Amino acid sequence: MQRLTLRSVADILSLPYDEVIDTRSPGEYAEDHVPGAVNLPSLDNDERARVGTVYVQDSRFKARRMGAALVAKNAARHLETYLADKPAGYRPLVYCWRGGMRSNAIALIYGQIGWRVGVLEGGWRSWRRLVQQALYDVPFPAPVVVLDGNTGTAKTALLHRIRAMGGQVLDLEGLARHRGSLFGLTVGESQPAQKGFESALAVEMAKLDPARPVLVEAESNRIGEIRVPPALWSAMQAAPRIEIAAPLEARAEWLMRAYADVTADPAELAARIAALQPYQSRETIEAWQKLAGERDFLRLAAALMQGHYDPRYARTRLRQGKPALRVYASDSLDDAAQDTLAQRIVADLEGYFSNR
């Protein structure tokens, strides 16, 4: 058994192991884990609670005996299922909450099989400290350029195309699993916990080339329920801003494509329109609900942008007192137009912006 100490988040990108195994309960794993780690719990949620109750209310010895039996049972199940086809040379890195009894017990079993197993020193807590340091204690590691534009200008889709063309981007909405408005949550999806988002963000930041500009979509300091960490938010506020401009009709057509999951569910669409009631008059909400009921999504998208999103977007903090450095205008937002926009932005990012 080897003990591994991580010195920075970037260390997780070059581990001398085949796989990272999180031995904590499913509930702990769901809140946050090392990105890419697989969850093979030594104790499930109920078992962890039962052992903890015995530990506090009865006896440490009884709790440890109970825990050992449960860990052995669960380890056997994982060996007969997920781990059944792992070869003799398999090298897993395991961790628990603080690198203690759970991960050590699992590592001992794996080691007896003959696998070269490692244990993360300090467990998940040591990982969490590195994430907090990267996001809260030091400046953002690369120069930021903010990609702006009114609702419906296909900014997230452009980020993906720019990345595919070699541009350096950070997709905050993708990490937050949210499209940044009351309509932003994909139907059937849920956002990660704040800690889980921060772990994923810290890993993406560790991949950045600090000598190249990174393009970040203009957001508020909240994406749904997720908070943008202060170092990144400060960098976004200070960053140069480029803007996509397109006619209302082109934007409405794009929104129909981008939010097809919402418009396909009449009850979901009606609920999201109703959620705008604190900001709009009853008459306006009724008019929008009528368009939704008639399935006139093109007019609905245009009305929502004109009556709600465009006015609010004009007041966002990233726009105040800061004109766009460049405006990329397009009459269309179809695939060909997006490719053209992405090509122009990539050329500018690697040319003008990188030489500032």
State the amino acid at position 121 in one-letter form.
E
User: Does residue 103 contact residue 94 with C-beta atoms inside 8 Å?
Assistant: yes
Q: Take residue 89 and report the two structure tokens written for it.
A: 């040379």
Q: How far from 284 is each of 10, 181, 252, 253, 292, CA to CA, in Å?
A: 50, 18, 18, 21, 12
Distance CA 230, CA 234 (A): 6
User: Does residue 121 contact residue 99 with C-beta atoms inside 8 Å?
Assistant: yes
Secondary structure of residue 38 in the 3-state scheme: strand
Distance CA 247, CA 154 (A): 12
Q: Which of 96, 146, 158, 159 is catalytic?
A: 96
Q: Give the β-pairing of 226-227 and 222-223.
A: antiparallel
Q: How far from 127 is each of 39, 121, 158, 165, 201, CA to CA, in Å?
A: 16, 9, 32, 32, 13
Residue 156: exposure state from Cβ atoms within 10 A (0-12, 13-18, ≥19): middle
Q: Take residue 198 and report the two structure tokens written for it.
A: 């921060």
Q: Take residue 22 and report the two structure tokens written for it.
A: 């999180």
What residues contact 283, with CB distance under 8 A and at least 6 apart? none
Distance CA 1, CA 4 (A): 10
Q: How far from 231 is each of 12, 227, 324, 342, 347, CA to CA, in Å?
A: 21, 12, 22, 27, 27
326 is catalytic: no
Q: DSSP string of 40-67? A: --SS-HHHHHHHHHHHHHT-HHHHHHHH
Residues carrying an active site annotation: 96
